[in-house]
């Protein structure tokens, strides 16, 4: 029996800022780009719950957030406090939270700076898993003065959806036999991979909840979504076997190079790329990692416009050849109209690998009784 948990910190960046600045507590607060009096570019990273009451949420354009804040202020409500992110501080706290989780789980996948999947199958009981999850939340609260929400279920899919059900400070346990019924009333967009585009496609067909979507057979879903439709068929029924993989998401290895003169000479650019791929894969080994799962390419045009393109591999890789192949695939469109319609010269190229993996010596997890 698999028992998987997903932990998600509540409004993480904003909560850390509230913690570090007690005078902001209880006030609406948004971490993200500089609003610049409503003219700012960029987006909100995280809004606290008071700011969410104004309609401000992650990925909202910062200019929109400023507008909502102004509207609230005119109604006599407190304006939003806008803060730039302090990633170093968040990473430091994240590291300590991940260490707390690692005391109780043998396998931890750091999905992002404030999110982790972990395997509790060794407990062999959902009741014990609930107690352990409760204990982890309490330990985070005691040591870091922050709240987390945890979902526990028979796989990553259910755990992830469950962790979002009772935010903030939630704990939701879904037993294997309850998984299908748990999903049915939920909106279809809770399924990871259902983006706005897929959502619209389904909406046109009158599908709002997961239960609605279940009237489509495997063939119909394959017809609409291709291969992914078959995966979706299983997900709608709470079935997913994707493994918990040790990731070191917050760590990456990368390099970038500014060309002496802006260039679109493919020989020069590819030589630079190959050099970086060779040094990065050597560094990967030197740092004791066994592989990477994401390859990232950074391109800066002569006019300083910067593009980042990435690809996540199905299985981890560690070789120069794979990194070279993947980054070249990302680079090629910059030589033609796909990514570079005006044939602008490049000023800089960068390569980075992420989702690094290590084969840790698994220590005996602590048991909660």
Q: Which residues bind Mg ion (CB under 5 A)?
A: 8-9, 12, 114
Q: Are strands 171-173 and 148-153 parallel, antiparallel or unpaired?
A: parallel
Element spanning 115, H or E: strand 115-119
Per the CB < 8 A criterion, the answer to whether 79 and 69 are in contact is yes
CA 13 to chain centre: 14
Rounded-to-5 percentages of helix, strand, coil across the chain: 45, 25, 35
Given the complex with Mg ion, which of 151 and 316 has the nearer CB atom? 151
User: Any catalytic annotation for residue 115?
Assistant: yes
Given the complex with Mg ion, which of 19 and 239 has the nearer CB atom? 19
Instruction: Please name every residue paired with 309 in a beta bridge, in sequence order, or none if there are none.
Output: 297
Instruction: Please name every residue paired with 256 in a beta bridge, in sequence order, or none if there are none.
Output: 350
Least distance (Å) between residue 12 CB and Mg ion: 5
Per the CB < 8 A criterion, the answer to whether 25 and 75 are in contact is no
CA atoms within 13 A on the CB side of 134: 10
Least distance (Å) between residue 113 CB and Mg ion: 9
Given the complex with Mg ion, which of 6 and 102 has the nearer CB atom? 6
Least distance (Å) between residue 9 CB and Mg ion: 5
Given the complex with Mg ion, which of 114 and 246 has the nearer CB atom? 114
Integer Cα distance of 33 and 74 in angstroms: 23
Least distance (Å) between residue 57 CB and Mg ion: 12
- Selecting among 115, 144, 231, 326, the annotated active-site residue is 115
Q: Active-site residues: which are they?
A: 115
């Amino acid at each position: 029996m698999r028992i998987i948990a997903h932990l998600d910190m509540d409004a993480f960046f904003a909560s850390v800022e509230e913690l570090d600045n007690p005078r902001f507590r209880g006030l609406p607060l948004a971490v993200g780009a500089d609003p610049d009096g409503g003219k700012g570019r960029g987006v909100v990273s995280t809004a606290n719950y008071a700011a969410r009451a104004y309609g401000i949420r992650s990925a909202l354009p910062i200019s929109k957030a400023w507008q909502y804040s102004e509207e609230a202020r005119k109604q006599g409500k407190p304006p939003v406090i806008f803060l730039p992110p302090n990633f170093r501080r968040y990473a430091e706290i994240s590291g300590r939270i991940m260490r707390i989780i690692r005391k109780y789980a043998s396998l931890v996948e750091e999905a992002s700076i404030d999110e982790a999947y972990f395997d509790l199958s060794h407990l062999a009981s959902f009741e014990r898993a609930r107690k352990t999850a409760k204990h982890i939340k309490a330990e985070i609260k005691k040591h870091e003065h922050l709240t987390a929400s945890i979902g526990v279920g028979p796989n990553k899919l259910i755990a992830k959806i469950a962790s979002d059900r009772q935010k903030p400070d939630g704990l939701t346990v879904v037993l294997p036999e309850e998984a299908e019924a748990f999903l049915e009333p939920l909106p279809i967009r809770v399924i990871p991979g259902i983006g706005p585009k897929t959502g619209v496609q389904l909406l046109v067909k009158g599908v709002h909840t997961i239960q609605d979507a279940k009237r489509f057979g495997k063939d119909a879903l394959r017809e609409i979504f291709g291969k992914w439709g078959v995966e979706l068929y299983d997900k709608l029924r709470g079935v997913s076997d994707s493994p918990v993989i040790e990731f070191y998401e917050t760590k990456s290895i990368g390099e970038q190079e500014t060309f002496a003169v802006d260039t679109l000479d493919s020989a020069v650019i590819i030589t630079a790329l190959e050099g970086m791929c060779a040094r990065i894969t050597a560094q990967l080994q030197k740092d004791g990692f066994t592989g990477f799962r994401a390859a990232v390419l950074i391109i800066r045009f002569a006019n300083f416009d910067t593009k980042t393109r990435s690809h996540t591999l199905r299985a981890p890789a560690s070789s120069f050849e794979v990194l070279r192949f993947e980054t070249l695939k990302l680079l090629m469109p910059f030589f033609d109209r796909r990514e570079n319609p005006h044939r602008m010269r490049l000023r800089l190229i960068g390569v980075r690998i992420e989702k690094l993996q290590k084969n840790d010596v698994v220590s005996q997890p602590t048991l909660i009784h």
